[in-house]
Each structure stands twice: as structure tokens, then as C-alpha cells.
Amino acid sequence: MCANLREELDNLLEYSGMDFSINLPDLQNNIKLSGAFIRNVLPVTTEIVNNTMKYRIEALKKTGLL
């Protein structure tokens, strides 16, 4: 799951022009996650990153840095 999340976030941020690093913990194989949790993690995380990028761009425009 973490590998897929890392890949999706990398694709999402690749052309953003921002410096970023993705630090996700390595999950041990003995941690059981429900199917609903796994299905919901990616869309929720993607929405968080999209909103962060959107408001960062707006803030940069207001300050004249963009």
C-alpha cells in the first residue's frame, strides 16, 4: 500500500515545481488493514495534497512571488 501511495503522490507532485520528499513508514507485514481503509487512503491523501498545492499557489500569487 505504501509503495502505491508513494508512486501516486510522486506522480501528482512531479510537475508542481515544488521540492518535496515523501516519507512514509515501512509497514510490517503483520499489520492488517481493512479493505475500506486501503480504498480510502489514496483518495483522501490525494485531496489533501491537491488542496495544499492549490492554497500554496494562491498564497504565492498574493505575495507576488508567483
At residue 31, the pLDDT reads 75
For 10, residues 6+ apart whose C-beta sits below 8 A from its C-beta are 22
Q: Is the pTM of this model over 0.75?
A: no
Q: Which residues of the chain have pLDDT under 50?
A: none
The whole-number pLDDT of residue 27 equals: 64
SS3 letters across 7-63: HHHHHHHCCCCCCCCCCCCCCCCCCCCCHHHHHHHHHHHHHHHHHHHHHHHHHHHHH
Q: What is the DSSP letter of 64?
A: T
* The pLDDT value given to residue 28: 66
The predicted structure's pLDDT at residue 29: 66
Query: What is the reported pLDDT for 2?
Result: 75
pLDDT score at 46: 87
